[in-house]
Amino acid sequence: MIAFITTLRHPQNSADYAMVESLLADTLASVTRQTSDDFVALVVGNRRPPFDLPRRTHFVEVDFDPPTNRAGARTGMRPLIWDKGTKLGVGLAAARDFDPEYVMFVDADDFVHRDIAGYVHDHAGSPGWVLRRGFVYSRRRNAYALRRRLFRICGTSFILPFDAYGVPDDLLVTSSQDEVADAFGDDALQVVIGEHRYGLEWWRERGRELDTLPFPGAVYHVDTGENHSGAMLLGLGLPHAPHLWDDFGIASSKDKWSSRWSAFGPPAFRPDLTPRRPFFLKPATMELPRNRST
């Protein structure tokens, strides 16, 4: 069994929390389209979503404080890692009750391939998988593009054995954020739980060489207004194609001609001037904001 675990940001740290919940609904619809029932989905958040959860999905409520007083989606990395990482840690504690062999963290606005649960079931014994190939999709443009290093830009990119995280038996879904951070350690929380960009190297340094998932396993959803990174699909794209619905459950948001205009017309020629840190220049370890949960 694979456990898909996702988190909801604190309502205070969003531009439009109704949009956050709507994006989650789309993500869960994608996750639960699996062709195999050998999965469970867990959502950790401060407030239960207003919609009925789909099949095999469970909500875990926490009462964590907002990680920052700053309103809006872009809170900075330190608060993001603290909030997301400790909630995923609680998700791991909750997943233990279902005895999964594998775990996949899923960002609450992304989409996953319908064959992941079946593939993981059929390949038990793997040290885990990294999603190298995947897609970036903009619903605003109804366009997408292939990415060959998805794991560098998207948090929905790793499938690990549950045991790899070393979840302590005494970690509970009612544990405080400090207790969650102590259970996993700041290093794991910052690199492979609350973050993802250097996860491949982190696992390799600890003797775990991940297999590559042999098909595009996830879609990074951008241009939502609620992306922490503010990520957008810039440059030429491809108009929505049927395989996005068939494999990921992404419905087209525009008609055919409007989609082609967004993919190939003037919107495609907006330059991407965002400076990016080369992946080999790892950021310094930061001090996490402990003692906020007491």
- pLDDT one-digit tens code per residue, 5-15: 999 999 988 88
pLDDT, average across residues 95-109: 97
Q: What is the pTM of this model?
A: 0.90
How large is the C-alpha radius of gyration of the chain? 18
> Is the pLDDT at 279 greater than 60, yes or no?
no
Distance CA 121, CA 64 (A): 34
* 154, 155, 159, 165: CA torsion to nearest 10: 150
Looking at residue 255, its amino acid is D
pLDDT, average across residues 115-143: 97
pLDDT at position 273, please? 43
Any idea which architecture 2-269 has in CATH? Alpha-Beta Complex (3.90)
pLDDT at position 293, please? 40
Domain boundaries, the chain: 2-269
- 156-167 pLDDT, tens digit per residue, is 999 999 999 999
Task: Report residue 279 as tokens.
Answer: 């992946």
pLDDT at position 265, please? 80
DSSP of 72-125, one letter per residue? SS---HHHHHHHHHHHHHHHHHHHGGG--SEEEE--TT-EE-TTHHHHHHHTTT
Instruction: Looking at mean pLDDT, say which of 193-197, 229-233, 268-272 comes out highest.
Output: 193-197
